Structures are given as structure tokens and as C-alpha cells.
């Protein structure tokens, strides 16, 4: 895990890691994009998403935390607010 100077840097890092894990082009991961639609998220892939976020940010999450977040921008905000 690295330290981030700002939310933009965190978003870039998360976007790259999510794109790699889910084999999706980074350009498809837009701030207002639907997480469930872009990643074709189901309960198993939600676990993978949580693992990627925790690995990149160091923030510990619950499935219910992420499962209620609809867009990537909301995800970045959520994680940024929880970084120590």
C-alpha cells in the first residue's frame, strides 16, 4: 500500500488495479460509471473488488459497505474518507 497525496491519485491507482483484476479497459471505468454494470458485479466478484480496494488503499471494508456504492466516484470518495 502506498500513501496518496490526494483523492485523484487514489482514484487513478484504484482504477488501474480494478481494470487489471476485472480485465476491463481503464477508459470504461469513469467516475459516473455504474460499478455493477461496468464490472458485471455479482456476489463473488464483489469479494474480489473488496480485496483489490483493501490491497491498494489499506482500508478494510465490508461487503455491505461496497455493495451499496453505485458509482466509481462514490467508491473513491468512500475509500478516501477512510484512509488514515
Write a three-state SS string for 6-64. CHHHHHHHHHHHHHHHHCCCHHHCCCCCEHHHHHCCCHHHHHHHHHHHHHHHCCCCCHH
pLDDT attached to residue 64:
82
Break the chain into its structural domains and give their ranges. 7-82
**CA-CA distance, 19 to 65, in Å (whole number)?**
20
7-82: which CATH topology? 1.10.1200
Instruction: Give pTM, 2 decimals.
Output: 0.91
Q: Which residues of the chain have pLDDT under 70?
A: 1, 84
Amino acid at each position: 500500500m502506498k500513501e496518496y497525496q490526494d483523492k485523484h491519485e487514489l482514484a487513478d491507482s484504484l482504477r488501474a488495479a480494478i481494470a487489471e483484476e476485472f480485465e476491463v479497459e481503464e477508459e470504461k471505468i469513469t467516475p459516473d460509471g455504474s460499478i455493477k454494470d461496468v464490472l458485471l458485479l455479482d456476489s463473488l466478484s464483489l469479494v474480489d473488488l473488496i480485496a483489490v480496494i483493501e490491497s491498494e488503499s489499506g482500508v478494510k471494508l465490508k461487503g455491505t459497505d461496497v455493495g451499496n456504492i453505485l458509482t466509481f466516484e462514490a467508491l473513491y470518495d468512500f475509500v478516501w474518507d477512510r484512509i488514515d
